[in-house]
Each structure stands twice: as structure tokens, then as C-alpha cells.
Amino acid sequence: MASVEFTPNLSRHIECETLSSNGANLRELIDEICCDNPQLKPYILDDQDRLRKHVTVFIDGVQVQDRKGLNDLINMESSVYIAQALSGG
Amino acid sequence: MNKTCWIGTRKGLIKLKQDADNHWQLSAPQFVGDPVTQILPDTGNGTMYVALNLGHFGPKLHRSSDQGLTWQECSSPSFPKQSDNPDEGQSVELIWTIEKGAGDDLWTGTVPAGLFRSRDKGDSWEFIDSLSSLPASSEWFGGGFDEPGIHSICIDPRDGDCLTVAISCGGAWRSTDGGISWQEKANGMRAEYVPPEQAFDHNIQDPHRVIACPADPDRMWSQHHNGIFKYDESDGLWVEIKNVVPSAFGFALAVHPKEKDTAWFVPAVKDECRIPVDNKLVVLRTRDGGKSFDILSEGLPQEHSYDLIYRHCLDIAADGDTLMMGSTSGNLWVSENGGDHWNCLSNNLADIYCVKFGHD
């Protein structure tokens, strides 16, 4: 299963421990981790389920490209890091 | 009774309370580091609300049932998902206003311009599609923000289904059936920032703030982008107050809770400059429906002032005498005699986004 970590700054606002996911792409991963913690979703995605403007995600150290469709692929061994962008503070 | 006032800043929420000697005391900040964009202290049912705009994680709404001692996040208004095309559809960027309606009803206005209603104390929000789907809405445009926004919601205390909303930039609109249908309510407003033949187009007006007199909601006041206007329902017309000195440009507005002809404004230099005229901060007060204005400066900086008072940053208490005002420079003033004299309560706050008196 892929591991999912969050920027520590998100924990100021909401519980977000390291999680794991079977999602095959970013959309599936976010749907899965938010299933048990629905409050998490609006911190990561906007009203149209796109990545928030000042949130970014790294999959195995590579920043995701598809910020709207969330179709970047994820392996079972992937490390996913949900981060805040340097913009937007 | 000692008064309470809440200050929303770019870096947190501050409560002010008068002590036994009627001195205002600032409390320790809450939501430290987070922009507080709106406050609703008085809902009549013991619940108060604050809206945050987290720089990275978006707008959030919190509520308190113990007068701000503890807070719980509740649901935030959001636009409905439009389609499977991720390029389409809006997302709330800012909760710009929150108002109490009839019963437990709450109304919020957002950027982009969306109107939302909650009937369950913020557990869920209904998007009022009837306003956003008006054909006229395609012509609304941003004023200060990239997108148009709703900053004023005037709910008639005699009828909770009657509400007037003001949009920068999209004029003013009234519903008398709880948001099912809408009528233009900007007749008479004049815009200087468009070609002359469009100056009275209802749909391009930029009313920076609209407030109805609580005791006589048929009278509304507006601090418009290029002027001060007043409205009487019997005339159905906004009337421009001309020859306002030192400037008719500004954002903030306060209306006396009982006297419809008494209102306060904070003038500034338009448009891009946006500082007090001659760097002297003053407040304008009319007591005769705009026939004349007092220029009030006692206790306010009369040199080197860059203080701009945003549209939600001047409030009046229920007594009609106590005013609180906060600026973009983090300065906070109170007047306890209708603006005749101002006392500075702090020079050191972050940019002030909203000021709201609580229960008396």
C-alpha cells in the first residue's frame, strides 16, 4: 500500500496522521483517505474536487501534474506527500 | 452593561470587553496566525460564528456555543459540483459576510459571488442558485478581488424572507420570497468608472457596503465606489449625496440603530491610491439624511496616516453612541460619543478585516 504523509502545518487545523492507501491514482487515494475523515477533503480539494491552489502533492518526490483531474498514477510502494505550496501563506 | 466587541484580523481573532471601569481590555488572541474574515457574534440562540480564510487550505467556518471560549469547525458553504469537467465550476475563495436570518437561519455571501443559507446552525448550507443563475450575473465583475463577491446581506427584521444583497460589482438585488426570485435594487446608483452612457446601468454598480437602518429597514445607506447613496422604499430609488468633503470614496459605513438619518462614513482617496485624504484620518457623520456632514477627527491621526477602513471594519453598538473602527494598518479606535472623540485601543494589531459588537 502507498503511504500518505501530510505537511505538519495541516495538523494545526485537523487530525492527519500518516495513512496508507490502495488507490491507483491520486483521485482514488484522496477519496480513500477522506472516506474515514471527511473533514479532511475540503482542506486538500476545492469545491470542484481540484487540488486547492496553494496545496501540492508529491508522489515519490515528483510534484503531481494533473491538479484538476488527479490522474497521476500511484504504485503500491509509493510515498505520497501532501504539502502546502510556498505561495498562499 | 459592559460591552463586548470582536476584532477579526489577518492574524487571528481578538475579543475586547469593557471592565468594571468601562475600560476596553483586549483578550489573548484566538486562531493565532489565521486570517479571520468575518464574525457573527449575535445569533440570538447562543451560537456565534467566525469565518477563516486559511492561506493554503481555504475558507473555513467555526462556531462557538460558549461565547468564544471554545470553537468547533462546522460546514463551510461550497458551490455545487458542476460537471465531470474539472475546468468548470466555482469554488468559494472567501466567506465575506455572515448574517442572522429568521429563527436559526444563517446567510452567507462569498467571493466568487454566491449566496448560501443554513437552517441548521451551519451543519449544512443550501446554495441559492436563483441569484447566481440570473442572466445578469454573467456581467458581474470583480472589485478588489478577481471575482465578484457578496459583502452585504440586509435581512428585513419584519420579514425574514425579505433580503437585499449587494455585490461588488453587480449592484443590489432583493428577494421577498426567501431567495426564490430576485429584483434589481440598484435604481439610481451611478458609476463613474464606465462609459457615461452606462453610468446608471444597475448591473455594473459597485456598492462597497449597504446597510439598512435596523429600526426602519425601508431606509438603506450605501458607501458606493464613487459616492454615498441613500434609499427610501417609498421612492424605490437610490439618491446620491453630492459635494461630500473631503471625499465621497470609501468602504466602511455604520447606520444608527434607531435614527435612520444618522450614518457614519470614512473617506479616502480613490481609486488606486486608497489612503486618507492628505494622510489625515477622519470620520464623516450625517444626522440629517445627508444634507450635511460633521468631519470628525479628534483622537485620530492627522498626519502620516495610511489607515484604510475596510467595509466591515466600522461598527456601532446597540446604544447608538459607541463606535469601533479598525484599519489596514492594525490600528483600533473606539468612540463612545457618536464619533466626536476617538480613543486608540491598539497600534499593533495585524490588518483588521472585520469589527463586530457582541451582546450588550
Site from A16, A46, A56 to mutate, B interface, most B CB atoms within 10 angstroms = A46
Instruction: Say what the pLDDT of residue B121 is.
Output: 94
Instruction: Say what the pLDDT of residue B20 is.
Output: 92
Q: Give every CB contact of residue A33 below 8 A, 6+ residues apart in sequence.
A: A4, A19, A21, A40
Mean pLDDT of all residues in B274-285 = 97
Q: Using a CB-CB distance cutoff of 8 angstroms, which residues of chain A are in contact with residue B76?
A: 42
> What is the Cα–Cα distance from A25 to A4, expressed in whole angstroms?
13
Mean pLDDT of all residues in B323-351 = 98
**B84–chain A Cβ distance below 8 A for any pair:** no
Mean pLDDT of all residues in B113-120 = 97
Site from A26, A48, A70 to mutate, B interface, most B CB atoms within 10 angstroms = A48
A89:B91 CB<8 A: no
Query: Could you tell me the pLDDT band of residue B44, with boundaries at 50, 70 and 90?
Result: confident
Instruction: Say what the pLDDT of residue B70 is.
Output: 96
> What is the Cα–Cα distance from B1 to A86, expressed in whole angstroms?
47
**B57–chain A Cβ distance below 8 A for any pair:** yes
CA angle at B216 for the pair B121 and B323, rounded to the nearest 5°: 75
Instruction: Say what the pLDDT of residue B221 is.
Output: 98
To the nearest whole Å, the CA of A28 is away from the closest chain B CA by: 15
**B56–chain A Cβ distance below 8 A for any pair:** yes
> What is the Cα–Cα distance from B307 to B329, expressed in whole angstroms?
6
Statement: residue A18 has pLDDT above 80: yes
% of residues, chain A, pLDDT over 90: 87
Residues B216-267: pLDDT tens digits? 999 999 999 999 999 999 999 999 999 999 999 999 999 999 999 999 999 9
Query: Could you tell me the pLDDT band of residue A48, with boundaries at 50, 70 and 90?
Result: very high
Mean pLDDT of all residues in A27-44 = 94
Query: Could you tell me the pLDDT band of residue B1, with boundaries at 50, 70 and 90?
Result: confident
Residue B75 — φ and ψ, nearest 5°? Answer: -70, 140
Residue B139 — φ and ψ, nearest 5°? Answer: -95, -5
Query: Could you tell me the pLDDT band of residue B11, with boundaries at 50, 70 and 90?
Result: very high
ipTM: 0.94
* Residue A67 per-residue DSSP state: T
B58:A9 CB<8 A: no
**B54–chain A Cβ distance below 8 A for any pair:** yes
Instruction: Say what the pLDDT of residue B15 is.
Output: 96
Mean per-residue pLDDT over chain A, rounded: 93
Q: What's the full length of chain A, in residues? A: 89
Mean pLDDT of all residues in B30-56 = 93
Instruction: Say what the pLDDT of residue A88 is.
Output: 63
Statement: residue A60 has pLDDT above 90: yes
Instruction: Say what the pLDDT of residue B124 is.
Output: 97
Instruction: Say what the pLDDT of residue B360 is.
Output: 53
Q: Using a CB-CB distance cutoff of 8 angstroms, which residues of chain B are in contact with residue A9?
A: 56
Query: Could you tell me the pLDDT band of residue A36, with boundaries at 50, 70 and 90?
Result: confident
Domains of chain A listed by start with CATH number: 2-84 (3.10.20.30)
Instruction: Say what the pLDDT of residue A89 is.
Output: 58
Interface of A with B (CB under 8 A): 9-10, 13-14, 39, 42-44, 46-50, 52, 54-55, 68-69, 84-85, 88-89
Mean pLDDT of all residues in B45-67 = 95
B90:A42 CB<8 A: no
User: DSSP secondary structure string, A1-61?
Assistant: -EEEEE-GGGGGTS----EEE--SBHHHHHHHHHHS-GGGHHHHB-TTSSBPTTEEEEETT
Instruction: Say what the pLDDT of residue B85 is.
Output: 78
